[in-house]
Amino acid sequence: MTNQNVVVPDAKQGIDITIAMVLPKSLFSPVVPKPLPAAPGGYFTITRKRFSKKTETGGKISSWVDSMRDSSPTRVKSTTSLSETEEKNSWIVNHPSALNMFEQIVKGSKGKQIVMFLDYDGTLSPIVEDPDRAFMTNEMREAVRDVARYFPTAIVTGRCRKKVYSFVRLAGLYYAGSHGMDIKGPSKNNCKYEKGGVLFQPASEFLPMIDEVYNVLLERTKSIPGAKVENNKFCVSVHFRCVEEKMWAILVEQVRSVLNDYPKLRLTQGRKVLEIRPTIKWDKGKALEFLLESLGYANSTDVFPVYIGDDRTDEDAFKVLRNRGQGLGILVSKVPKETNASYSLQEPKEVKDFLRRLVEWKRSSLQGQRRA
């Protein structure tokens, strides 16, 4: 662990600002005082002398509310006078439909093993007001089942692993819940890990803390109409989809006040949800890498990973694929958004169509091989 302090004097304002940069060298970050929201891998703790604490806190809350107004990932903000249609057409050029580019996609996978990674909410199921009723259709379940017959397939979600399994109800898949902090899958001969299937829980020590925070948040948010707190085992989700916007600042303030007592936890944002997670260097991108390694494709050039997701948290996986120079990411969105994905699909129905087309292509390829 390295700790670097940079003191910047401001003669005009009479303010000294000390920025402490804490850069973890291991998986688990040590305790740091009252961390600000930051990307995985580091925290920035800022101390201001003679600076209004009330003003500082208000600024943080305002920033969170502004972020909550944006869709996830962040919607592209046009710097020109382009109309919405022109803006979308421009975005589509850089993120074309995976359905329209299907032939090019499968051509790029020639001679390689396709491995499928699928987010759940907003990808396999529609986004709904009640997260407990985010059911996938039978047609989608059949499409996922058929894909898993031909390609190793994983569901990677922020949900509790057992919860998402109760929605999907398909054996033979890998399930990575809690943003990849709870991974389990079917027993495979080529899997390097536990005989009963992949089982990896890098944040096990945080379980008592997560349960405690969940119960505190239930109490603190019960006065905010529409707020729903969900225990996803290794993280806690605070859904605000049904909360009036005028109450968002109060909700964020309540959540942050709870986290002040838990410096080993951090606050992040997803699609209409605030999420409390352990301060470990683990996310959906790390889960993708772990699963590829468990399947024997850690350093292989013969693998073609395809990750489909709609949320800001899926960007970690899209970045991994870009950095590896292998496979591709597909963002599910009806509006232009900043993303590291290469292709796009508009909604779960198009995801289902893409999966079905992938199965038809594979079946046709196998039949051609048999005839040959």
119 belongs to the catalytic site: yes
Which residues have CB under 8 Å from 61's CB, separation 6+? 249, 252, 253, 256
Q: Are residues 251 and 221 in contact, defined by beta-carbon separation less than 8 angstroms?
A: yes
Helices 284-294 and 315-324, packing angle to 10 deg: 50
Q: How far is CA 32 from CA 4, 260, 294, 312, in A?
A: 13, 11, 33, 25
Amino acid at 117: F
The C-alpha torsion from 207 through 289 and 298 to 358, rounded to 10°, is: 130
Rounded Cα gap, residues 155 and 173, in angstroms: 7
Q: If we measure between CA atoms, which residue out of 330, 371, 288 comes closest to residue 124?
A: 330
Q: Which of 10, 66, 119, 314 is catalytic?
A: 119
- Catalytic residue positions? 119
